[in-house]
Amino acid sequence: DIQMTQSPSSLSASVGDRVTITCRASQSISSYLNWYQQKLGKAPKLLIYAASSLQSGVPSRFSGSGSGTDFTLTISSLQPEDFATYYCQQSYSTPITFGQGTRLEIK
Amino acid sequence: EVQLVESGGGLVQPGRSLRLSCTASGFTFGDYAMSWVRQAPGKGLEWVGFIRSKTYGGTTEYAASVKDRFTISRDDSKSIAYLRMNSLKTDDTAVYYCTRGIWAAAGLYFFDYWGQGTLVTVSS
């Protein structure tokens, strides 16, 4: 199975900050990496697919990059509604696996 | 508007069975793969399995943790996906989400719409 490791596990930041979350795969997954946002008590929401493609309706302050084993999710200027937990997910091979999540909290 | 609505969750004893349903609307259900993803209380996301569209054989794949106990099926005429869970364990306690899957390319699969989730509690 492909292991997905996110760092950091939690992060405190302020409105307006630039934030980067990293996801590392245990083997190369090409660009088959997706990012989700989950707010407390809600279903996850797709943000980025194929490592860098922005899902329709997602604000442009979100961006993704990377290929192979190392990927990043960047929020260019944090907004109050961005405080949530973020997950990466690989689909290169089954079983589909998620990272453990990064909790983004208000400083 | 795409909507996915799960139902069938609840409290069940270990060893018993339960069937979840996911009723879809707002898109041509038969054209899409459907997946189930679960989340244990306070934990992260875990893929349970998926069923391909009939165009791609309607075949299924599962996580090792549920293989041979859980079965995903679909009724395209009713736009419903099912998750049959047998031999339930306390570790199966989770919110179960139904998701629509997009095969954008070989190897690229993502979940673009999610239901609100249904809680399954396995306890004696």
pLDDT tens-place string over residues A19-50: 999 999 999 999 999 999 999 999 999 999 99
Q: What is the mean pLDDT of residues B102-123?
A: 92
B97: nearest CB among A43, A94, A99: A43
B108: nearest CB among A1, A32, A44: A32
Integer angstrom CA distances of residue A10 from A22, A36, B79: 11, 15, 39
Q: What are phi and psi of A50, to 5 degrees?
A: 50, 40
Condensed to tens digits (0 to 9), the pLDDT of residues B11-41 reads 999 999 999 999 999 999 999 999 999 999 9
Closest CA to B34 of B51, B59, B15: B51
Q: In this predicted structure, what is the pLDDT of residue B105?
A: 76
Q: A43 vs B45: CB contact, 8 Å cut-off? A: no
Tell me the nearest-neighbour CA distance from A85 into chain B, angstroms. Answer: 9
Q: Contact A87/B45 with Cβ under 8 angstroms?
A: yes
Q: Distance between CA A23 and CA A3 in Å, rounded? A: 10
Q: Choose the mutation target among A6, A28, A34, A91 for the interface with B, i.e. most B CBs under 10 Å.
A: A91
Tokens of A19: 């934030």
Q: Contact A44/A36 with Cβ under 8 angstroms?
A: yes
pLDDT band, very low/low/confident/very high, at B108 (cuts 50, 70, 90): confident
Q: In this predicted structure, what is the pLDDT of residue B34?
A: 97
Which residue(s) pair with B98 in the sheet?
A: B36
Residues 6+ apart with CB under 8 A from A66: A23, A31, A33, A51, A52, A72
Residue B27: other Cβ atoms inside 10 A: 15
Residue matched to tokens 């937990």:
A85
The SS3 assignment for B112 reads: strand
Q: Distance between CA A106 and CA A39 in Å, rounded? A: 13
Residue matched to tokens 């049959």:
B84
Return the sign of the alpha-carbon dihedral for residues A55, A18, A96, B78.
negative
Q: In this predicted structure, what is the pLDDT of residue B103?
A: 84
Q: What angle do CA A8, A13, A17 make, to 5 degrees?
A: 110
